[in-house]
């Protein structure tokens, strides 16, 4: 297992600092754990795509699709654009 799987977790530094310095930003421990799981899964999937596929064009297409679904999941959890029961405020 490569360490680059965990590189997306550095994105959690943004909400950590925002939680400390801004009152409007309010993430609970559950939010950090859930986003950590999602970001680790994202890193694992991207690493799997890079390691297993040969053609560069397939890699790019699948990584873009993976990032699109990650952003869709994030937006749904944050504000609820689709209207699932998991949507945020």
The CA angle 67-50-59, to the nearest 5 degrees, is 60
| Domains of the chain by residue range | 3-78
Q: What digits encode the pLDDT tens for the residues 55-64?
A: 999 999 999 9
Residue 89, pLDDT above cutoff 80: no
Split at pLDDT 50, 70, 90, the class of 1 is low
Interatomic CA distance for residues 48 and 71, integer angstroms: 19
Rounded Cα distance between 80 and 72, Å, is 10
CA separation for the pair 59, 24 (Å, rounded): 38
CA–CA distance, 39 with 6 (Å, rounded to integer): 8
Torsions phi, psi for 64 (to 5 deg):
-65, -45
Asked whether the beta carbons of 37 and 70 are under 8 A apart, the reply is: no
Quickly state the pLDDT bin for 84 (edges 50, 70, 90): confident
pLDDT tens digits, 68-83: 999 999 888 888 777 7
């Amino acid at each position: 297992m490569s360490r680059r799987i965990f590189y997306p977790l550095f994105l959690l530094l943004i909400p950590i600092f925002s939680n400390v310095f801004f009152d409007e930003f309010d993430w609970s421990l559950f939010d950090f754990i859930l986003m950590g799981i999602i970001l680790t899964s994202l890193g694992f999937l991207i690493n799997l795509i890079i390691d297993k596929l040969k053609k560069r064009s397939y890699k790019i297409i699948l990584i873009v699709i993976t990032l699109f679904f990650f952003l869709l999941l994030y937006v749904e959890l944050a504000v609820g654009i689709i209207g699932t029961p998991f949507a945020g405020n």
